Amino acid sequence: MDALTAAPLAKSLDAPILLTRGDKVPDATLEALEQLQVQEVYTVTGALKKADLEKFFADKELEITITELGGKDRFETSANIADQLENVENVVIAYAYKNADAVSVASAAAIENMPILLTKKNVLPDPQADYLATIKDQVQKTYVVGGEAAISPEVFAELPGTEDESKFRIAGNDRS
């Protein structure tokens, strides 16, 4: 889920998303970092700690600045990622525990500079509520991806915008 919510940030930075194995950097990822001559890395998982990566990069004689965006959970991480985006006008809300909805919207969200914020079915987590409170005056549209079985009407009601004008639910009878 962290990689999916990172898609808009990767697009805004014109940067690839490189995968790791939990707290380990695979050789293929290291090779890509070297080939691309990467100078800055954003981590979006709590498994990779900045100090461990700094030591790893130093051992490989790579001078790479690290910005940690991984939070204590996927909610904090998605809000941390969202906070890095500039000029946000629209947001996407997706259910946090199944990735089909986030997958279906990740590329569009990246193209349109829309953060993907994750939620629970019946509760908008504090990191999302806090982030939305800071940008509510600039939000023009909120897209809720998933039906009421994934994101309740109560959570929908908490989101910026008014239904029919600037808040939309994108859902169907199934995932297709």
Answer whether residue 47 shows pLDDT above 90: no
Q: Where are the domains of the chain?
A: 2-68, 74-170
Write the pLDDT tens digit of every residue in 83-135: 999 999 999 999 999 889 999 999 999 999 999 999 999 999 999 999 999 99
Answer whether residue 164 shows pLDDT above 90: no
Instruction: Enumerate the H helices of the chain as residue ranges.
Output: 2-5, 7-13, 27-35, 50-59, 74-84, 100-111, 126-135, 153-158
Give pLDDT, residue 90: 96
CA distance 68 to 117: 18
Write the pLDDT tens digit of every residue in 15-29: 999 988 877 888 898
Q: Does domain 74-170 have CATH number 3.40.50?
A: yes
Give pLDDT, residue 173: 77
Write the pLDDT tens digit of every residue in 71-86: 999 999 999 999 999 9
Answer whether residue 146 shows pLDDT above 80: yes
pTM score, whole prediction: 0.91
